[in-house]
């Protein structure tokens, strides 16, 4: 299966999958996402439940049994974990190459002379 078709993940999807490395219900996921993102990503309840439905359909997350019958609990699947790792690797390459180019002090025009 070609997992690259899921990439690149949106920031919201990335944090949602990351929040489900341990089982959590929707409200806890919203809190984890805000905390993991250093309070830069805040997801409204309607958006959260739409994202959950999407991720369930893509089989990147699944429901698990919970002691709280009022709330559904979710966790990342093996497929979801592989997609998360792939996107992390993709972003790491982006940041590594950016840092490398910025540290080398390349000219703003990329070394190409104006004609």
Return the pLDDT at 115: 59
Q: Which fold has domain 8-103?
A: Arc Repressor Mutant, subunit A (1.10.10)
So what's the pLDDT on residue 111?
59
| Average pLDDT value over all residues in the chain | 92
Q: Is the pLDDT of residue 1 over 90?
A: no
From residue 77, alpha-carbon distances to 3, 21, 83, 90 in Å are 13, 9, 10, 20
CA distance 88 to 93: 9
pLDDT digits (tens, 9 = 90+) for 78-87: 999 999 999 9
Confidence tier at 66 by pLDDT (50, 70, 90): confident
**Cα–Cα distance, 90 to 84 (Å, whole number):** 10
* pLDDT tens profile 39-53: 999 999 999 999 999
């Amino acid at each position: 299966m070609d997992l690259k078709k899921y990439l690149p993940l949106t920031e919201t999807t990335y944090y949602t999958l990351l929040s489900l490395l341990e089982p959590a219900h929707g409200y806890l996921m919203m809190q984890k996402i805000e905390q993991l993102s250093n309070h830069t990503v805040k997801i409204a309840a309607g958006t959260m439940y739409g994202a959950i439905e999407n991720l369930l359909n893509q089989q990147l997350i699944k429901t698990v049994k919970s002691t709280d019958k009022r709330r559904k609990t979710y966790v990342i699947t093996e497929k979801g974990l592989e997609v998360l790792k792939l996107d992390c690797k993709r972003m790491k390459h982006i940041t590594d190459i950016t840092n490398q180019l910025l540290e080398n002090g390349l000219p703003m025009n990329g070394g190409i002379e104006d004609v």
